[in-house]
Structure 1
Amino acid sequence: MDGTRHNTELDEHYIDERLVALYDPINGEREDVRFYVELTGAGPLDVLDAGCGTGALALAMAEAGHCVVGLDPAAPMLEAARRDDTRGQVQWVCADAREMDLAERFDLITMTGHAFQVFLDDDSMHAFLRRAFDHLRPGGRLAFETRNPLARAWERWTPQLSRRRALVEGIGEVEWTASTLQVDGEHVTFEMTHRFLDSGEEIITPSTLRFPAHETVRGALKSAGFEVGRTYGDWDRSPVTPSSLELIFVARVPA
C-alpha cells in the first residue's frame, strides 16, 4: 500500500434514490444530532453543516433558531433534505467540502455521520480542514467525529451483529447488514447489503473508510491553524479511552 487513496467518486448508497430513502429509517434516532445541537447553544449562530446528507442535523439546528447552510456532494441526498425542509429554513448547497468556496463565513462548521472518514488520504483530510478554517470567523469552531480505531468497530460489522430492519414508507420492509471485507492499515473496506423483503430484491454496495488515529487528526487540525480543545470519547462528553467508540473533536480558529 502506498498510503494514498483518493476518494473521488460517491458510493452508490449516497446516489441511488431508493438507498437514500433508507438512510434515515435505518439509522433511526441519532445521538450525534442531539450533541451538535446542544453544542451550538444559544444563537442565532451562522452554521455550516458540511456533508449534511439528508439534512437531519441541519434542520434540527435551524429549528433551534440558527442560520444554517447544508452542504453535500450528493445531489440525491440534498433532494431528500429539501423535501423535508418544508418551510425553507436551510440553504442547501451541492459541493465537495474539500473544494467549497462560499461567500459566507460561519461561527460553527459541523461534519457528522462519520463523514470525516471518507477522506482516505492526508491530502483530502488537509484540504477539508483548510477549507473549513478559511470559512470560519475568528473564534469560530469546527466540530466533527471519527470512529476510534482502537475500538475496532469493523470487527462488529458482520451480518449477525449489524442487522437492522425498518419499515419504509413507499418501499416496504427493508433489512440492512454490513460485512467487513478487508482491513489494510487505517483503511477498512466493507459492503452493505440492502434486502427489500417485500420484493426479494437485494442491493450490495461496497465502501472504504479511513480510521485515522487520535494524534493524526489532532496534528492535522493544528497544521491547518486550529486550536484543539478537549476530545470526547462518546456523545455524553466522556473523555477518550482506548475503548471509546468515538473521537469527537471541537477545534477553534484563534480569536
Structure 2
Amino acid sequence: MSNIEDALYADPRLVGIYDLLNSGDSDFKFYLDRLGKENRRVLDLGCGTGTFALRLAAIGHAVVAVDPSPMMVNYAKHRPGSGSIEWIVGDALSPRIRKPFEVATMTGHAFQCLLVDNEMRATLRAVYAALGAGGRFMFETRNPTVQPWTTWNPVCSARSIQSEQYGPVDVFHQCNAVAEPLVEFETHYVFRRDNTRLLSRSKLRFMSAGELATELNAAGFRDIEWFGDWTGTPFHETSSAEIIAICHA
C-alpha cells in the first residue's frame, strides 16, 4: 500500500487518471460564459492537468497557467494545444507571473488547499495585485454549512472508472477528522488490472461566505457576486453546495 500525503499530485498513475475522476465541465462552462466573447489575458491558478487552461487557449484567450505540482504541469505541457500557454510551477506569488491580467481563475476547489491564514491572505493580495483595473477573480469553494464531508465514506463515495492506460480503477473517500475549518480525508484507489492499491491523504479548508467576503474585502476586492451552483442560482447559506465568487478588482 502506497501511503503518500497528497499523492494525487505526485504519483504518475493518479495524475494520469485525474481527468477521468473530474470529467464534468459545468464549472468550466459557468466561468467561460462569464468571460464573454472578447479574448482576454487569463491567469489560471491551480491549473492541475491543464484542462481549463487548454479550453481557454483554444478559443483565443492568452493564458498563463500555474500549479505547485511539477508533475501536473509536466503532464499539462505535453497535451495537444499546450504550446500557446505559458506554464509555471509555483503559486500566485511566483515572480515569473507577468501582470496585469484581465481575469484570474482558480477552479477545481483549489482555493481550499490554502490551509492557513497567511497563505490564503497572501494569495488573495497577489491575485488582486495581478489584476488590472476592472479585472475579475473567479473561484469556488464548498459550502461548510451543508457539511459535504459527511458523504466522504466508502458507501457514499465509491465509484469506478475505466482508464485506457491502467484499466478499471475503483475509488472511494474516507473522512478521517473534522476540526473546522479543516477537514482531513483519504482517497483510496484500487487498480484492478494488477491489484495495485494507492492511498492519498489530503486536507482542505472550509470557509463560510461571510468569512470569504471579509478576506476578499481586506485584499482589495469590493464588488463580489455570489452563486450557489453551476446553473447560476444565487448563493443560499443553508442549502447551496457551492460558494462561487466573481470578485471585481
Residue among 220, 223, 226 paired with 1:228: 223
1:53 matched to 2:52: no
2:206 counterpart residue number: 211
Counterpart residue number, 1:26: 21
| Residue 168 (structure 1) aligned to one of 163, 170, 174 | 163
Q: 1:125 aligns with which of 98, 120, 131?
A: 120
User: How far apart, CA to CA, are the structure 2 residues paired with 1:45 and 1:10?
Assistant: 36
Q: TM-score, normalised by structure 1?
A: 0.92
Q: Map Cα deviations across residues 3-32 of structure 1 (whole Å, 9 max, x no partner).
A: xxxxxx972211111111110011112211
What are structure 2's unaligned runs of at least 5 residues?
Answer: none
Q: 1:147 to 1:87 in 2, by over 3 A?
A: closer
Q: CA deviation at 1:87?
A: 5.5
Kindly provide the CA deviation profile for residues 112-154 of structure 1, in whole angstroms up to 9, marking residues without a partner as x. Answer: 0000001112111101001101110010000100000011100
* Structure 2 Cα separation of the partners of residues 77 and 100 of structure 1: 20
Q: Which residue of 1 aligns with 2:239?
A: 243
Deviation larger for 109-118 or 220-229: 220-229
Residue segments in structure 1 that go unaligned for 5+ positions in a row: 1-8
Q: Secondary structure at the match of 2:156?
A: helix
TM-score between both structures, scaled by the size of structure 2: 0.94
1:183 is aligned to 2:175: no
Hey, what does 2:63 align to over in structure 1? 68
Instruction: Kindly state the Cα deviation for residue 100 of structure 1 after the two structures are TM-superposed.
Output: 5.0
Please report the RMSD computed on the Cα atoms of aligned residues, expressed in angstroms.
1.5
1:133-152 matches, cutoff 5 A: 133-152=128-147
State the alpha-carbon separation in 2 of the partners of residues 104 and 116 from structure 1.
Answer: 20
Amino acid at match of 1:46: R
Larger mean Cα displacement after TM superposition, 45-54 or 99-108: 99-108
Deviations 1:27-56 (A, max 9, x none): 112211111111211121000100000011
Distance 2:136 2:82 in 1: 27
d(CA) in 2 for partners of 1:185, 1:228: 27
Q: CA shift at 1:198, angstroms?
A: 0.9
